């Protein structure tokens, strides 16, 4: 098995900067890539802000933070990934974009490099088939927010070999994650169960069963969920929720996975949640206000 020392992360957004964060704290050298310098600066700023929060809670020391930040290098080009032992794609949840990234990676990384996708719903086998090393390809689905969530879903593609799977187990252990093995079916375990629940909450809103606040309060206090499903949808991103529902609907051909028309409408409006300031709540003021 290749010794993993350097991790390449493609995508400095919500998931990518979280993955870079935990990898750097675990002692790995990290190459963080995105299409613009602005995106990289924003990603590194988020990492530093989240590490400062960990220091304030005495989860890590100030020295740990400085050392970890020093391990992260950024680039708008994939050429530095020639040094990567493991390259993790953490781009937006669209198959075509992910396939283009892996095609570009295969032109850069050496034969020893393992490839992984952080996809939350797309077929690992299908993504692997577009590369030159499907046996060294695996799904590593981190939960959001990555520094706080303990779980990592590991998904083997049809061609994934045992050495790659063993690497994934060792890697996740070093990050301090608990793993669960999911078969390569649409949305795996967590999102197969979670996102249809969110979609059903949107249907309840769409049909007038309850308001945004009443639906969220009902699930927080009635089901003991830490946050309501519509708040959670805004946190995940309504565009991501819709993409996952579309993968489920297309892949399983069951009408129970039909995306709610109201979810589609919000995404069409660009109101996709916290990351843009509006979703089922408007976050632009001092406190979130329901938008419906």
Active-site residue flag, 103: no
Q: 289 is written with which tokens? A: 């206000």
The single residue of 89, 123, 141, 172 carrying the catalytic annotation is: 141
Which helix (H) or strand (E) segment is 115 a member of? strand 114-117
Q: How many C-beta atoms surround the C-beta of residue 70 within 10 A?
A: 10
The single residue of 50, 121, 123, 191 carrying the catalytic annotation is: 191
Q: 39 is written with which tokens? A: 């995106």
Q: How far apart are CA 231 and CA 254, in angstroms?
A: 26
- In 3D space, the residue among 140, 136, 142, 141 whose CA is nearest the CA of residue 113 turns out to be 136
Phi, psi torsion values for 105, nearest 5 degrees: -60, -40
Active-site residue flag, 191: yes
Q: What angle do CA 101, 85, 123 make, to 5 degrees?
A: 40
Residues belonging to the chain: 292
Q: How far apart are CA 19 and CA 7, in angstroms?
A: 10
Active-site residue flag, 121: no
Say which DSSP state 98 is in.
Answer: H
Q: 7 is written with which tokens? A: 């991790």
Phi, psi torsion values for 287, nearest 5 degrees: -140, 145
The single residue of 120, 121, 172, 243 carrying the catalytic annotation is: 120
Active-site residue flag, 225: no
The single residue of 153, 172, 199, 243 carrying the catalytic annotation is: 153
Q: How far apart are CA 255 and CA 246, in angstroms?
A: 11
Residue numbers annotated as active site = 120, 141, 153, 191
């Amino acid at each position: 098995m290749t010794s993993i020392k350097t991790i390449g992360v493609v995508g400095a957004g919500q998931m990518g900067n979280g993955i870079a964060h935990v990898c750097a704290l675990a002692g790995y050298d990290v190459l963080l890539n995105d299409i613009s310098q602005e995106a990289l600066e924003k990603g590194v700023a988020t990492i530093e802000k989240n590490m400062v929060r960990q220091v304030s809670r005495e989860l890590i020391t100030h020295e740990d933070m400085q050392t970890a930040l020093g391990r992260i290098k950024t680039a708008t080009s994939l050429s530095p990934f020639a040094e990567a032992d493991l390259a993790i794609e953490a781009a937006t949840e669209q198959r075509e974009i992910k396939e283009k990234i892996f095609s570009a990676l295969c032109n850069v990384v050496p034969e020893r490099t393992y490839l992984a996708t952080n996809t939350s719903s797309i077929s690992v086998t299908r993504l692997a088939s577009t590369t030159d090393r499907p046996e060294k390809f695996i799904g590593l689905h981190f939960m959001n927010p990555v520094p706080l969530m303990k779980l990592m879903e590991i998904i083997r593609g049809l061609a994934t070999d045992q050495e790659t799977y063993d690497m994934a187990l060792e890697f996740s252990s070093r990050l301090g994650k608990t793993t669960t093995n999911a078969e390569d079916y649409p949305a795996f375990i967590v999102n197969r169960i979670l996102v249809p629940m969110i979609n059903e909450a949107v249907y309840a809103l769409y049909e007038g069963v309850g308001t945004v606040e009443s639906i969220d309060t009902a699930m927080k206090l009635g089901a003991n969920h830490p946050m309501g499903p519509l708040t959670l949808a805004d946190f995940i991103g309504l565009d991501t929720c819709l993409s996952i529902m579309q993968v489920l609907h297309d892949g399983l051909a069951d009408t129970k996975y039909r995306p709610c028309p109201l979810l589609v409408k919000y995404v069409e409006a660009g109101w996709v949640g916290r990351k843009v300031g509006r979703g089922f709540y408007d976050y632009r003021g001092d406190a979130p206000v329901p938008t419906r």
